[in-house]
Amino acid sequence: MKISIDLTVNGERHQVDTTPWITLLELLRETLHLTGTKEGCGLGECGSCIVLVDGRPVNSCLMLAVDARGRQITTIEGLVSNGDLHPLQQSFIEKGAVQCGFCTPAMILSAKALLDENPDAGEEEIKQTLSGIICRCGNYKKIIEAVRTASDGKADS
C-alpha cells in the first residue's frame, strides 16, 4: 500500500509515494538520495540520524515519513548556501572537529537549532544539547570548541 506525502526538504518541495512504515531517515537516504544523514543504531539512541524538523532536532530513524507531511525538513546538505558552507560547518573544519564524520551532520544540525534559539549559548548549554549524540571518535572537546567559536561569531559568515 503506497501513500502520497508532501514535504519540504532543504527548501525544496517534494511529493513522494511511499509505504506507511518507511522512516524519515529511509526516505531521505533511499528516495531523496540525501546521504548526509547517517543511520547508526536505528533505535534513536546514538543520535547520528538527527535532522531538523521545523527547526527542531529529531531522530529521523524514529519518525515515520508520513509524520513529516507538510513539515520543513533540514538536512546537512541544506546548510550550504550559494556554494558557501554554513558558519558551523566552517568552524568544524577550522577547529578539527571532524574526524570520521559519522556524527558530524547530527552535531552541526543540533548546534544550529541551539544557536538559532540562543546565539550566545555557553559551554554547558552546548554540552547539554549535544549530549544525545555519540561521537565514536571521542572528539567532544573539539566539537564543543567549534560550536563555541560559531556562537561567538568567530566563524566566517
Name the band, by pLDDT with cuts 50, 70 and 90, for residue 112. very high
Distance between CA atoms of 73 and 24, rounded to whole angstroms?
10
Name the band, by pLDDT with cuts 50, 70 and 90, for residue 151. confident
Name the band, by pLDDT with cuts 50, 70 and 90, for residue 153. low
CATH number where 143 lies: 1.10.150.120
Mean pLDDT over the full length of the chain = 94
pLDDT exceeds cutoff 70 at 99 = yes
Whole domain around residue 27: which residue ranges? 3-78
Q: Are residues 60 and 120 in the same domain?
A: no
User: Is residue 157 a part of any domain in this protein?
Assistant: no
Contact 74, 50 (CB under 8 A): no
Distance between CA atoms of 10 and 68, rounded to whole angstroms?
13
The pLDDT, as a whole number, for residue 61 is: 98
Domain tally, the chain: 2
